[in-house]
Amino acid sequence: MSMSQTLNEKVVPAVMKFVNLKALQALKDGVLYTMPLNVIGSIFLLIAAFPSKAYTDFMASIFGADWQTPLYKVQNGTMGLMGLVCVISIAYIYAKNEGFEPLSAGVMSLAVFFITTTNSINFTPKDSKEVFAVGGIPAGWLGAQGMITAILIGLAVGYIYSWFMKKNIRIKMPDGVPSGVVDAFSAMIPATAAFILADIIFIIFKYAFNNTTLVEFIYKVIQTPLQGLSDTPGGVFVIAFCIPFLWFFGVHGATVISGIVTPILQANTADNAALQIKGTLDIAHGAHIFTQQFFDNFINMAGSGETLGLVICMLLFAKSTQYKQLSRLAIVPNLFNINEPVLFGIPIVMNPMMAVPFIITPICTAMLLYAAIAMHLLAPMGGVMPPWTMPPVFSGFLIGGLPYAFAQLVFLVMGAAIWFPFFKKADNMAYAEEIAAQHHEKGVEA
């Protein structure tokens, strides 16, 4: 069996089966609802915590010492609600993909989240050793710290709601009743089941696990280790490899992998944002290396596989008409991190020769960037999250000023150097084919 047959008959079906999992689809699409919160919230954070003492002193002299408070209010009210948004949106998308009324699933999921989460806040007054409890949900569980719990609850409630709907276990209303009333009564039975289950979980964790809650347990046992694992060279390597690897089979690797890792990376970014506000954004104080910006603006810089380096090579050195034309068409989209014209135009998808630089380039960038931050050559990234469509160098400047802009420029040059010999080989082959075709046409005419 040839390599092509093996890929088509063995590997591709397995990859597609994984990609099309209902839970993965709901996770991938549901997490996208947090994008406006993160992008807009990070802009307010950038204004409030711009890394320049001269700037902050100037703003304080104009607006007063408390000038940052309104800006942080917006940042906390957007980036601080990621978990709350995910718990609704993931259940919503799951039910929607199954073909059922989705808002009921989202509302049920939100209720389950609150049922299983503590509703008291402990505090110790100044000059006192006594601990008091007041009503309220700690804000941290609504944001980054509650992300994994939100995902699990969203998927579980989406599944439970859809199961009841598929089995037609619902309160049925007579014909002529408004659809809104029908949907509300249809959700009664699955909601009752979900809420009873949530209360049982609350009871188990409260009385069997020393007055803890589901979200606290998951944060300690699952989320914290996952965030730590994401900060290792091995974690960075695997993620940088998987994106172009999936793309090689025609699967949108960045979308699939982001659906899996975005909750963890956004939590890392939120932790760094909190350190940035305190003025302690460094490795010694627990700053994370691998954040959402690391993923969006470096591993996927100028698109999966960092194909901007390839396009620049084509634009400057191509001899074949095919690559000259493609470079002119692809350069503008590629600058804004959209590289499908290159992926399918060369093509890179299912092209073993182009797979080598396509996979190697983002891995080199990821590992070198990780090393630069770990060795304190670059500061950890804060909470500023440029849109993934922002061109390289500009996005680097927003993330970390001139050092990060220069780092992106270096990685682009490195990427072009990696791509060049493979591009040159493919271009020479295409040029030879064009010359042969011209000679054939002349021979036919003669």
Do the domain assignments include residue 10?
yes
Q: Given this model, what pLDDT does residue 209 score?
A: 85
Any domain includes 259: no
| pLDDT at residue 144 in the model | 81
60 and 177 assigned to the same domain? yes
- CA distances for 321 relative to 313, 430, 445, angstroms: 14, 8, 22
Residue 219 lies in a domain: yes
pLDDT at position 6: 62
238 domain residue, yes or no: no
Mean pLDDT, residues 274-293: 91
With beta carbons less than 8 A apart as the criterion, state whether 184 and 104 touch.
Answer: yes
CA distances from 177 to 22, 102, 105, 184, 191 (A): 32, 19, 21, 11, 21
pLDDT confidence bin for 307, thresholds 50/70/90: very high
Going by C-alpha positions, the residue among 40, 169, 31 that lies closest to residue 100 is 169
Q: Are 186 and 104 in contact (CB under 8 A)?
A: yes
Show which of 160, 194, 228 is a domain's final residue.
Answer: 228
**What is the number of alpha carbons within 13 Å of residue 163 lying toward its C-beta?**
10
Arithmetic mean of pLDDT, 327-354: 86
In sequence order, what DSSP letters do the residues of 114-130 get, joined into one string? HHTS--EEEE--TT---
Q: State which amino acid sits at residue 446.
A: A
Report the alpha-carbon distance of residue 188 to residue 194 in Å, rounded. 10
The verdict on 192 and 313 lying in the same domain is no
Spatial CB neighbours of 110, under 8 Å, sequence gap ≥ 6: 84, 87, 88
Helix (H, G, I), strand (E, B), or coil: what is residue 428? helix
Are the beta carbons of 305 and 362 closer than 8 angstroms? Answer: yes
The model's confidence at residue 194, banded by pLDDT at 50, 70 and 90, is very high
- DSSP class of residue 202 equals H
| One domain for residues 98 and 173 | yes
Residues 290 and 416 in one domain: yes
Q: Is residue 258 part of a domain?
A: no
- Nearest by Cα to 299 from 243, 373, 395, 366: 366
pLDDT of residue 124: 67
Domain's final residue, options 198, 228, 258: 228
Q: What pLDDT, in 10s, does the model give residues 233-254?
A: 999 999 999 999 888 877 778 8
For residue 129, what pLDDT is reported? Answer: 66
Q: Which residue has the tokens 């989320």?
A: 223
Within this chain, do residues 215 and 289 fall inside the same structural domain, yes or no? Answer: no
The model carries a pTM of 0.77
Residue 435 shares a structural domain with residue 347: yes
Which among 371, 366, 376, 377 is positioned nearest to 411, based on CA atoms?
A: 366
Given a cut of 70, whether residue 396 has pLDDT beyond it is yes
- Residues forming a β-bridge with 120: 135
Q: Count helices and strands (H / E) in the chain.
A: 21, 2
pLDDT at 297 > cutoff 90: yes
The share of the chain scoring above pLDDT 70, in percent, equals 91
Of the ranges 13-17, 29-33, 229-233, 327-331, which one carries the lowest mean pLDDT score? Answer: 13-17
**Is 264 a domain residue?**
no
Of 100-109, 113-122, 427-436, give the range with the top mean pLDDT.
Answer: 100-109
φ, ψ dihedrals at 133, nearest 5°? -120, 130
Tell which residue, 314, 379, 315, has the closest CA to residue 348.
314
Q: How many structural domains is the chain composed of?
A: 2
| Bigger pLDDT: 293 vs 125 | 293
> Is residue 206 domain-shared with residue 300, that is, in the same domain?
no
Contacts of 446 (CB under 8 A, 6+ apart): none
Judge whether 289 and 275 are in contact, CB under 8 Å: no
Domain identity same for 342 and 439: yes
Q: Let me know whether 219 and 302 are in one domain.
A: no
Q: Are residues 325 and 220 in the same domain?
A: no
- Does 441 have pLDDT greater than 70? no
Give the per-residue pLDDT at 224. 84
d(CA 236, CA 257): 12
Query: What's the pLDDT band for 40 if we cut at 50, 70, 90?
Result: confident
Pairing mode, strands 132-135 and 120-123: antiparallel
Distance CA 4, CA 344 (A): 17
409, two tokens:
């420029």
Position 25, amino acid: Q
Please report whether residue 310 resides in a domain. Answer: yes
Query: What mean pLDDT is predicted for residues 99-124?
Result: 88
Q: Are residues 306 and 178 in the same domain?
A: no
- Other beta carbons within 10 Å of 341: 19
d(CA 400, CA 404): 5
Pair (223, 289) in one structural domain = no
The pLDDT mean for the chain works out to 87
Tell me the HSE value of 417 on the side-chain side, using a 13 A CA sphere: 8
Final residue of a domain: which of 179, 198, 228?
Answer: 228
Question: Residue 347 is part of which domain span?
Answer: 285-445
pLDDT at residue 3 greater than cutoff 60:
no
The reply to whether 247 falls in a domain is no
Cα–Cα distance measured from residue 149 to residue 153, given in angstroms and rounded to the nearest whole number: 6
